[in-house]
């Protein structure tokens, strides 16, 4: 099987208009970033111009491979969205090269000195509302239009938000991305948790008498509490125990104001009617999962502290991971069932942090965002299924599948590419990986997922990710699981009958296609979103809420641009799907 897999990989080149994934045909040894840059400059004509340079921006070593990400610069300005990711095995042998959005043929049209001078004459801060902090910004070259130009890329973040804005010199918001990630010593404290949730622990499903009942500690919860010891910190100065350790800190940074539980003794035996229960539950599951992935060889992932608010999100029934400029946070809501009471929710959000830690990606595409939802669903499924397989296919067994929302499933009947939004796309990925888990078990399948996600880039598609899983099997297990992996990806239409990926371009987002503008004005100034098409188009716009509920359908015909004017929707996060006969684009929007 190893020979078969290597034959597949050695001759594959997958390309679309903006990206190319390359598997080398011969052995190539590249042992460091300098040798990789030299190789790329020598072998790719578009990189050989004297004013084109490469700069490494991220490196990660996984259990079986090295991963390098490079930015592409022209006259020391970065090309917008242009990245090259190079992956080698531990001996430096080249595995894959993924180039994304490198268009150098238009660069001669740009007068860089003129563009810089024009930007220098603009009062930059005046382009933004004063309520939007500008943490970092730089100028990059946008080559996507007929007339390329220099744009500003602005990063605005804090513990509860993480946004990227792309502006032109006219002050127009081209795009917006919501990227929403002491004198002490360690000791053990005693607490009790749901493991993984009260329904699974007791072997029941949601419904009277097994209901949330507004956080009340009903009698039926008694046997669902599991006593556990957790590594925590003790402050000798204040003689106080805190629910924090070297990997997790419980904090209060988002409304409502609920201060983290502390104690003068190592006793944190709370019940669910007390706020300290969610604090301890989140600390336990994140710490346990972190120790597990470290024990199977992935100790470089999230080896820094993540800050967690278990009573946040303004009390909404939602949760999020936030990169926060490199100081990641998890924010759990308390609407419906408190999210931090369900290990599925906790591990799902923490897995977004693992993905970010593995490759520093920004998820600037629908499929890549869907893939991130899918791998996070997968790890949550794997974690809970290993604890107790009862109803393992029900994602968010306690938080969802009730009157508050329907949850998700790890056994969706949908096949690729039939996903209406990023969560439906994620369900397809989780279903394939969970089927592999059924045959290969937790540790092997978790290793395949952990190893392969180091290869992901900003625009990785599901078929590309499946190839990385196959490649990870070769690196980790000499390719002995090829048939099993192929079978389950084939069953979800991610691979064809010959264990080759289905088209990598037919659902890929084209950066030269549908353009969505003024999402900032929509969110903050009650303005419309403008949607531009590269040619006369007909189709429909569909608005979804965070749970995938369809809120609005608006059709259009024979248009080169349309306006999205749904200004009376409540504040929150939504997904706008724009579908034409040539393209499908899904955009996350705030209101």
The DSSP string of 446-459 is HHHHHHHGGG--TT
285-303: average pLDDT:
95
Taken in order 167, 171, 174, 175, is the CA torsion positive or negative?
Answer: positive
Residue 511: its pLDDT value, please?
39
**Residues 6-27 pLDDT 10s:** 233 333 445 444 567 888 878 8
**Residues 361-403 pLDDT 10s:** 766 688 899 999 999 999 999 999 999 999 999 999 999 999 9
Q: In which element (H, E) is residue 267 found?
A: strand 267-268
Among candidate residues 470, 464, 489, the one with its CA nearest the CA of residue 21: 464
Per the domain annotation, does 62 fall within a domain? no
478-489: average pLDDT:
94
Residue 135: its pLDDT value, please?
82
Residue 7: its pLDDT value, please?
30
Q: Is the peptide bond before 70 cis (omega within 30 degrees of 0)?
A: no
Structure tokens at 154: 């602005």
Task: Convert 90-108 to b/e letters by CB count within 10 Å (16 or more is b).
Answer: eeeebbbbbbbbbbbeebe
Residue 278: its pLDDT value, please?
98
C-alpha 332/C-alpha 340 separation (Å) is: 6
| DSSP three-state, residue 578 | strand
C-beta of residue 416 within 8 angstroms of C-beta of residue 493: yes
Q: How far from 178 is each of 229, 284, 504, CA to CA, in Å?
A: 37, 28, 25
C-alpha 591/C-alpha 573 separation (Å) is: 6
> In which band, very low, low, confident or very high, does the pLDDT at 349 lie, cut at 50, 70 and 90?
very high
For the chain, how many structural domains are there in total? 1
Q: In which element (H, E) is residue 276 found?
A: helix 275-295
Question: CATH number for the domain including 532?
Answer: 2.60.40.3080
Q: DSSP character for 314?
A: G
| DSSP three-state, residue 23 | coil
Per the domain annotation, does 561 fall within a domain? yes
Q: Is the pLDDT of residue 530 over 90?
A: no
Per the domain annotation, does 549 fall within a domain? yes
**Residues 537-580 pLDDT 10s:** 898 988 877 666 778 888 999 888 899 886 678 777 777 888 88
**Residues 67-124 pLDDT 10s:** 999 999 999 999 998 899 999 999 999 999 999 888 888 888 888 888 888 888 877 6
Structure tokens at 76: 């020391």
- Whose tokens are 């973040």? That residue is 157
Helix axes 442-452, 366-387, angle to 10 degrees: 160
- Whose tokens are 């710490």? That residue is 287
Q: Which residues partner with 55 through β-bridges?
A: 71
Q: DSSP character for 528?
A: P
Residue 185: its pLDDT value, please?
61
End-to-end CA distance of the chain: 51
The DSSP string of 338-397 is -GGG-HHHHHHHHHHHHHHHHH-----SHHHHHHHHHHHHHHHHHHHHHH--TTTTEETT
Among candidate residues 177, 160, 188, 450, the one with its CA nearest the CA of residue 302: 450
C-beta of residue 504 within 8 angstroms of C-beta of residue 16: yes
Helix axes 2-10, 462-477, angle to 10 degrees: 140
Per the domain annotation, does 445 fall within a domain? no
Q: Is the pLDDT of residue 505 over 60?
A: no
Among candidate residues 356, 378, 364, the one with its CA nearest the CA of residue 466: 378
Per the domain annotation, does 580 fall within a domain? yes
C-alpha 69/C-alpha 99 separation (Å) is: 10
Percent helix / strand / coil, the chain, rounded to 5? 30, 30, 35
Q: How far from 269 is each of 82, 94, 195, 273, CA to CA, in Å?
A: 51, 52, 15, 12
**Residues 209-263 pLDDT 10s:** 999 999 999 999 999 999 999 999 998 888 899 999 999 999 999 999 999 999 9
C-beta of residue 376 within 8 angstroms of C-beta of residue 408: no
Q: How far from 482 is each of 26, 92, 95, 449, CA to CA, in Å?
A: 21, 23, 17, 14
Per the domain annotation, does 527 fall within a domain? yes
Residue 546: its pLDDT value, please?
65
C-beta of residue 12 within 8 angstroms of C-beta of residue 467: yes
Residue 275: its pLDDT value, please?
96
Residue 60: its pLDDT value, please?
94
The domain containing residue 572 runs over which residues?
513-591
Per the domain annotation, does 550 fall within a domain? yes
**Residues 402-461 pLDDT 10s:** 999 899 999 999 999 888 889 999 999 999 999 999 999 999 999 999 999 999 998 899
Per the domain annotation, does 541 fall within a domain? yes
Q: How far from 459 is each of 20, 130, 152, 489, CA to CA, in Å?
A: 11, 32, 21, 19
**Residues 490-504 pLDDT 10s:** 999 999 988 888 865
- Whose tokens are 């090829």? That residue is 482
Residue 504: its pLDDT value, please?
54
Mean pLDDT of the chain: 87
Residue 126: its pLDDT value, please?
67
- Whose tokens are 């979103």? That residue is 529
Q: Is the pLDDT of residue 269 over 90?
A: yes
Residue 193: its pLDDT value, please?
98
């Amino acid at each position: 099987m190893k020979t078969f897999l290597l034959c597949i990989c050695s001759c594959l080149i997958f390309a679309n208009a903006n990206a190319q994934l390359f598997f080398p045909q011969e052995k190539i040894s590249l042992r460091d970033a300098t040798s990789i840059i030299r190789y790329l400059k020598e072998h790719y004509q578009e990189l050989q111009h004297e004013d084109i340079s490469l700069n490494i921006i991220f490196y990660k070593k996984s259990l079986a491979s090295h991963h390098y990400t490079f930015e592409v610069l022209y006259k020391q300005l970065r090309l917008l969205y242009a990245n090259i990711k190079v992956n080698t095995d531990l001996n430096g042998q080249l595995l894959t090269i993924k180039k994304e959005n490198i268009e150098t043929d238009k660069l001669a049209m740009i007068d860089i000195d003129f563009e810089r001078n024009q930007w220098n004459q603009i009062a930059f801060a005046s382009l933004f509302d004063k309520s939007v902090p500008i943490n970092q910004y730089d100028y990059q070259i946008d080559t996507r239009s007929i007339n390329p130009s220099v744009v500003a890329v602005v990063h605005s973040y804090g513990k509860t938000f993480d946004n990227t804005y792309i502006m032109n010199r006219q002050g127009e918001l081209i795009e917006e991305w919501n990227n929403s990630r002491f004198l002490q010593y360690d000791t053990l404290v005693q607490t009790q948790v749901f493991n993984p949730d009260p329904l699974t622990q007791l072997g029941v499903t949601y419904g009277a008498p097994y209901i949330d009942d507004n956080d009340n500690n009903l009698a039926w919860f008694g046997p669902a509490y599991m006593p556990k010891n957790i590594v925590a910190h003790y402050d000798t100065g204040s003689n106080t125990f805190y629910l924090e350790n070297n990997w997790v800190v419980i904090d209060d940074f988002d409304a409502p104001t609920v201060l983290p539980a502390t104690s003068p003794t190592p006793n944190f035996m709370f019940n669910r009617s007390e706020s300290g229960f969610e604090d301890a539950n989140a600390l336990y599951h994140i710490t346990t999962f972190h120790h597990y992935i470290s024990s199977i060889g992935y100790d470089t992932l999230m080896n820094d502290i993540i800050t967690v608010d278990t009573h946040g999100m303004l009390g909404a029934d939602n949760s999020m991971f936030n990169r926060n400029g490199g100081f990641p946070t998890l924010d759990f809501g308390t609407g419906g069932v408190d999210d931090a009471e369900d290990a599925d929710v906790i591990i799902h959000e923490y897995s977004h942090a693992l993905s970010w830690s593995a490759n520093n990606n920004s998820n600037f595409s629908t499929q890549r965002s869907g893939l991130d939802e899918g791998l996070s669903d997968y790890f949550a499924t794997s974690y809970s299924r290993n604890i107790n397989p009862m109803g393992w296919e029900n994602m968010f067994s306690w938080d969802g599948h009730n009157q508050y929302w329907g949850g998700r499933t790890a056994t969706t009947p949908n096949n690729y590419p039939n996903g209406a939004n990023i969560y439906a796309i994620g369900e397809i990925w989780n279903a394939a990986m969970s089927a592999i888990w059924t045959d290969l078990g937790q540790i092997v399948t978790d290793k395949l997922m952990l190893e392969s996600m180091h290869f992901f880039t900003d625009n990785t598609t599901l078929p590309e990710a499946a190839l990385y899983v196959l490649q990870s099997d070769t690196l980790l297990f000499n390719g002995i699981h090829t048939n099993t992996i192929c079978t389950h990806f084939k069953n979800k239409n991610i691979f064809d009958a010959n264990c080759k990926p289905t088209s990598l371009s037919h659902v890929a987002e084209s950066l030269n296609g549908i353009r969505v503008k003024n999402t900032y004005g929509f969110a903050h100034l009650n303005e419309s979103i403008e949607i531009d098409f590269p040619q006369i188009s007909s189709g429909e716009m569909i608005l979804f809420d965070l749970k995938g509920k369809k809120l609005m359908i608006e059709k259009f015909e024979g248009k080169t641009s349309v306006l999205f004017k749904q200004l009376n929707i409540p504040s929150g996060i939504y997904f706008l799907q724009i579908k034409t006969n040539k393209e499908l684009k899904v955009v996350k929007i705030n209101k």
